[in-house]
Amino acid sequence: MAGRGRPPENLYEKWVTGNEEIVKSACREGADLKGLAALLGCGLTTVKNLKSKFPEFAELIRIDSKKANLQVQSALFKRAIGYEYEETVSKVVVGKDGSGQQTFVEKRKRHVPPDPVAAIFWLKNREPEAWRDRREVNITDDPGEKEMTRKELVEEAKKIGMSEEEMFPDD
């Protein structure tokens, strides 16, 4: 039964060699395995096989994805706390008669205030227990509390000015 199936080939040479920079760039831009498959022109299974069989491919993907994540994390943090930057403005002044052009270069410091949405996003992801919107409340029976009898309920109702008929109107 020789000759069945696909002929053996080096997947790395076929799909990755020569495309390393493209793969790195795509990973920096947030591509997932499905996106890499489309970019390389192969199937998702091929990319998964490349990742499992070739540690250099897995490392190529991991390092550039990690770099991209760190850059975004840094930018989000910077936006959350606010920052300053220097802006260069060029101004061209022409004389009244159209001659004597002068260029002025001015450097200005600009301040970008903290962005509350970025701060909230940062905190919800970094400290979810303290900052998440939805909190889980677990209500359980208090083992120290006992069930009251009808007589005890009526006595408690009388203390607050209710009659037995008001307490149990259906009886």
**With 0-12 CB in 10 A as exposed, 13-18 as middle and 19+ as buried, what is 140?**
exposed
Helix (H, G, I), strand (E, B) or coil at 133: coil
Residue 50: count of CB within 10 angstroms of its CB: 25
Banded model confidence at residue 97, pLDDT cuts 50, 70, 90: confident
- Whether 162 maps to a domain, the answer reads no
- Whether 32 maps to a domain, the answer reads yes
- Answer yes or no: is pLDDT of 112 > 90: yes
Strands (E) located in 94-135: 102-112
- Whether 75 maps to a domain, the answer reads no
Per-residue H/E/C for 47-65: HHHHHHHCHHHHHHHHHHH
Question: What is the extent of the structural domain holding 32?
Answer: 10-68
- Whether 169 maps to a domain, the answer reads no
42 and 89 part of one domain = no
- Whether 145 maps to a domain, the answer reads no
90 and 60 part of one domain = no
How many separate domains does the chain show?
Answer: 2
Q: What is the pLDDT of residues 121-147, one digit of tens each?
A: 888 888 888 888 876 766 666 666 667
Give the best-scoring range by mean pLDDT among 7-11, 25-29, 81-85, 165-169. Answer: 81-85
Task: Give residue 78's pLDDT.
Answer: 93
How far, in Å, CA of 159 to CA of 152, rounded?
11
pTM: 0.47
Percent of the chain with pLDDT over 70: 87
- Are 96 and 89 a contacting pair, CB within 8 Å? no
How far, in Å, CA of 128 to CA of 112, rounded?
26
